[in-house]
Structure 1
Amino acid sequence: MTSFDPMLVFDIETVPDVAGGRRILGLDGFDDADVRTAMISARMQSRGTDFQPPHLQRVVAISVALRSGEDRFKCWTLGDEDADEAEIIQRFYDGVERYRPQLVSWNGSGFDLPVLHYRAMLHGIAAPAYWDTGARERESKYNNYLSRYHERHLDLMDYLALYNGRNYAPLTEIAVLLGFPGKLGMDGSKVAQAFEEGRIREIREYCETDVLNTWLVTLRFLRLRGQISAQEEAVEHERAKAYCRDSGAVHWKEFVEAWEAKA
């Protein structure tokens, strides 16, 4: 039976930070719709895209999958549906502080972590274990969360592409290519509208399925690297399916059905 050191797969969902945009653009007194329009215009002029930079991305969900020990597996979203941004981010860094897991992401270095860095600063959050590069624990000098070529944080997209942006691939395409469900029902472009409509639960469920897709791709990578066998990967697949079925949640039922339909 394979035993895992704590491994935490994570993904975030964000919406444009209207309050931050209002402050930066000096638009006190303007309503949210006008501020959003101004933010889009400013971004289009500077970068040719309406996608806001990391410091103007408000975190509305962080989902994680924790695999540890011989048989522990859990996939969930941090905080309750009414948790604010500060609480969600604090919970993420508290988990890093407590478990010292290997973090795994898909494009985490390119997006998720820079967003969390800026937003944690905004809320005055402390994350000493995450930021340690050897001052607190000597081993962090040689393997920490911040250095691109260390594996305390494994950005699987960056790693598989050999750190070359021309080789980057979307998670959902890699997941589907490998026989996993990929995205179901929602994608990142729909999150802002869903948030405005109060559909927080849908956003959280979507984020969770992205995390599980990432975990399944990670397992195939671990097999590629010789860390687990084909038989052990199959055991982990059944463990994930059992977790989904036992949860009773509709989105997990749909995920397993889509997965088995591809078998």
Structure 2
Amino acid sequence: MADFFEQLGEILFLDIETASQTESLEELNPRMQEEWLKKEKLIRTENPDREPGSLYFDRAGIHAEFGKILCVGVGFFQVKRKENKLQFRTKVFSNSDEKELLSEFHALLTKKKWILCAHNGKEFDFPYLCRRMLIQGIALPEPLQIAGRKPWEVRHLDTMDLWRFGDYKYYTRLELLAAVFDIPTSKEGIDGSEVNTTFYKEKDLGKIEKYCLKDVEVTARIFLAMHPQPEEMELEIISTEESKKEAGE
């Protein structure tokens, strides 16, 4: 049990929220517009009747080449043994300037030898962060450097990967695992399909930040549920400024 709680404090739980690079396809430079239309041909096999370019607003945000990161939510645990309490400290990085946002997140990743954990992080969050950092001219921080490393040298955890138990055909939504473990939903305000509309149409980045942080919390709770301990500890959520100090910023 001691080993588990010792490792727990080394894990940085994270979630990213993304949007299309621009509100409309026409705002992209002509070269990128052409590339999107080629990319979209593969997507439109599922929607053959859609007009070329019509999927940009709904689908571009999931592709790092055509999207951008709006916010990165993070959280980490501190064990308070005397109080029999687990404190989970959270913070969200958001900025209309993606390069500044990623530079701030980069600085956090250099403060400590973190183990990174996200839901579907190995297939989405981690590679998306790497691609957008390089596009913005930011060198990859050590926790995101995986080229040439052996699998056991990569300090990445993924709650979806953990739940697969080796069954790589098995995809499980974060919300389904939350329901299975009776963890409160993160989808009370918006869900992932509404992020682009919330950002471009409603101009409400704050709503996206709250949703992002809630996903971080749900991911952390799921990780705990997957590692039941004989000793139950009270969970306390502490956000933003206090987390900022503890993370060494």
TM-score, shorter chain, exceeding 0.5: yes
Alignment of 1:61-100 (within 5 A): 61-68=71-78, 70=80, 72-79=87-94, 82-100=95-113
Structure 1 residues 128 and 78: CA distance shift in structure 2, 3 A? closer
- The C-alpha deviation readout for 1:89-115, integer Å capped at 9, x for no partner, is 222222221111111110011111121
Pair 1:174-2:180 in alignment: no
Q: Tell me the equivalent position of 1:194.
A: 198
1:131 CA drift (Å): 4.6
Q: Which amino acid aligns with 1:100?
A: K
Quote the sequence identity (%).
23
Q: Tell me the equivalent position of 1:219.
A: 224
Task: Judge conservation of contact 2:9–2:78 (CA < 8 Å) in 1.
Answer: yes
Q: Tell me the equivalent position of 1:47.
A: 43
Range 157-166 or range 114-123, more displaced: 157-166
1:230 CA drift (Å): 4.2
Q: Which amino acid aligns with 2:119?
A: W
Q: What is the CA–CA distance in structure 2 between the aligned matches of 1:19 and 1:193, rounded to whole Å?
A: 9
Structure 2: stretches of 5+ with no match in the other structure:
47-54, 81-85, 243-249
Where is the strand percentage greater, Structure 1 or Structure 2? 2
Normalising by structure 1, report the TM-score.
0.70
Normalising by structure 2, report the TM-score.
0.73
Higher relative contact order (CA 8 A, sep 6+): 2
SS in 1 for 2:110: helix
Structure 1 residues 124 and 26: CA distance shift in structure 2, 3 A? closer
1:24 CA drift (Å): 6.2
Alignment of 1:105-116 (within 5 A): 105-116=118-129
Task: Judge conservation of contact 1:107–1:157 (CA < 8 Å) in 2.
Answer: yes
1:128 CA drift (Å): 4.1
Where is the helix percentage greater, Structure 1 or Structure 2? 1
Q: What is the CA–CA distance in structure 2 between the aligned matches of 1:123 and 1:134, rounded to whole Å?
A: 19
Which of 129, 153, 157 is 2:156 aligned to? 153
Count residues with an aligned counterpart: 213
Range 193-202 or range 17-26, more displaced: 17-26
CA RMSD across the alignment: 3.0
Pair 1:117-2:130 in alignment: yes
